[in-house]
Amino acid sequence: MTSLAVVPGDGIGPEVTREALRVLETIAPAYDLTFTTTEYDLGARRYHASGETLPDAVLEEIRGHDAILLGAVGDPSVPSGVLERGLLLRLRFELDHYVNLRPSKLFTGVPSPLRDPGEIDFVVVREGTEGPYVGNGGALRVGTPHEIATEVSVNTAFGVERVVRDAFARAAARPRKKLTLVHKNNVLVHAGHLWSRTVDRVAQEFPDIAVDYLHVDAATIFLATDPARFDVVVTDNLFGDIITDLAAAITGGIGLAASGNVNPDHTAPSMFEPVHGSAPDIAGQSKADPTAAILSTVLLLDHLGHADAAHDVQQAAEADIAERGSAPRRTEEVGEAIAARVAEGVRVG
């Protein structure tokens, strides 16, 4: 019995989460899995009704689950940052999701905007609990011409080392055995040198891994011109946020990009969600591609130790992606098609 906390959230979040759950329910019987789901009404509606973003008691309830499936958070009716920080980042921080795992693969049949993309298959290991995201800042003389705003990036030896170790272990398990540190150590010398020194030190324990370094600005050049050079990328919270939207764009779009907020030590449930946001511009119109949410369930299944089930869902999604034409499909059509392929694969297998 696997207990899932489900946070559909805002905008297209509920639309894509519904399809992800449909696929999980389809794969479950083939592997004798049982998912019990508890849905949490968190996001803009709750905020307007009660002023709450993530009450402590709800956080503790969520903590009691095996994993979390999240849709997206954020709404134009709520001041920017309230839900993003108060709900999404709070979950990542409180549940110690220090590995934000974001795989990027150019699937067969997907047109890349790059003229000559080559083979794109890399994973970004984005630090998830530190950096400029920690909320260490403030503003003075707000609204005056003399306003001063700070947002201090916090990087600890402990936090950097644990995510760097995780990235090396992932690189060691992949055939190309390459790790690229992406930072900006020519300018952000305090944080950057901590990251570089940590990578150099941990590298000594992984002599088979080829280690590379790119400044983040140059990394965007290579993501657009030679993405095949990347295998495992390790980077800080903010750089990882930015380069993974670019990574999604070069591999067919944000509708295909999955992520896991992973607590590798299993001291709290990990959380799986598409890389994209609540997309208010298309919300409520069944236009959202649920593939990213469905591929996030692959990461969820893998994390919970159900590699075979994960493989089946991945295959079903990739088969659908390979054969989808350019005609727009409704959100539920895509979910139903992938679920049907899961069911078919299950029957055949």
Ligand X SMILES: CC(C)[C@H](C(=O)O)[C@@H](O)C(=O)O
User: Which of the residues are catalytic?
Assistant: 133, 184, 217, 241, 245
- Output 231 or 273, the one with its CB closest to ligand NAD: 273
204 among annotated binding-site residues: no
Q: How far apart are CA 73 and CA 10, in angstroms?
A: 5
Q: Is 116 annotated as a binding residue?
A: no
Using rule CB under 6 A, residue 88 touches ligand X = yes
Which lies closer to ligand X via its Cβ, residue 227 or residue 277? 277
Using alpha carbons only, how large is the chain's radius of gyration in Å? Answer: 20
Tell me how many residues contact ligand X (CB under 6 A).
Answer: 7
308 scored as a contact of ligand NAD (CB under 6 A) = no
Cβ proximity to ligand X: between 96 and 312 the closer is: 96
Number of residues that bind ligand NAD (CB under 6 A): 20
Instruction: Determine which residue in the list 4, 91, 275, 338 makes contact with ligand X, applying CB under 6 A.
Output: 275
We find the least distance from the C-beta atom of residue 82 to ligand X, in angstroms, to be 11
Residues 193, 163 contacting (CB under 8 angstroms): no
Confirm or deny that 282 is annotated as ligand binding: yes
Which residues ranging from 241 to 260 are in contact with ligand NAD (CB under 6 A)?
Answer: 254-255
Among the listed residues 75, 241, 289, 302, the single contact to Mg ion using CB under 5 A: 241
Q: Judge contact between 299 and 105, C-beta under 8 A.
A: no
**What does the H/E/C string look like for the chain?**
CEEEEEEEECCCHHHHHHHHHHHHHHHHHHHCCCEEEEECCCCHHHHHHHCCCCCHHHHHHHHCCCEEEEEECCCCCCCCCHHHHHHHHHHHHHCCCCEEEEEEECCCCCCCCCCCCCCCEEEEEEECCCEHHHCCEEEECCCCCCCEEEECCECCHHHHHHHHHHHHHHHHCCCCCEEEEEECCCCCHHHHHHHHHHHHHHHCCCCCCEEEEEEHHHHHHHHHHCHHHCCEEEECHHHHHHHHHHHHHHCCCHHHCEEEEECCCCCCCEEEEECCCCCCCCCCCCCCCCHHHHHHHHHHHHHCCCHHHHHHHHHHHHHHHHHCCCCCCCHHHHHHHHHHHHHHHHHHC
The residue among 83 and 123 lying less far from ligand NAD, judged by its C-beta, is 83
If contact means CB under 5 to 8 A according to the sort of partner, which of ligand X, Mg ion, ligand NAD, none does residue 250 touch?
Answer: none
User: Is residue 127 close enough to count as binding Mg ion by CB under 5 A?
Assistant: no
Nearest to 182, CA basis, from 168, 173, 171, 192:
192
- Residue 89 or 300: which CB sits closer to ligand X? 89
CB of 1 to ligand NAD, least distance (A): 28
Q: Which listed range, 51-59, 116-124, 240-248, 264-272, lies at the site for Mg ion (CB under 5 A)? A: 240-248
Nearer to ligand NAD, 281 or 308 (CB): 281
236 binds ligand NAD (CB under 6 A): no
Residue 338, annotated as binding a ligand: no
Interface residues for ligand X in 65-84 (CB under 6 A)? 74, 84
95 binds ligand X (CB under 6 A): no
Residue 43 beta carbon to ligand X: minimum distance, rounded to whole angstroms: 12
In degrees rounded to 5, what are phi and psi of residue 232? Answer: -115, 130
Name the site residues for ligand NAD (rule: CB under 6 A): 12, 16, 72-74, 84, 88, 254-255, 273, 276-282, 288-289, 292
Binding-site members for Mg(2+) are 217, 241, 245
Binding residue ranges for substrate: 92, 102, 126, 217
Residues at the site binding ligand X, with contacts judged by CB under 6 A: 74, 84, 88-89, 241, 275, 277
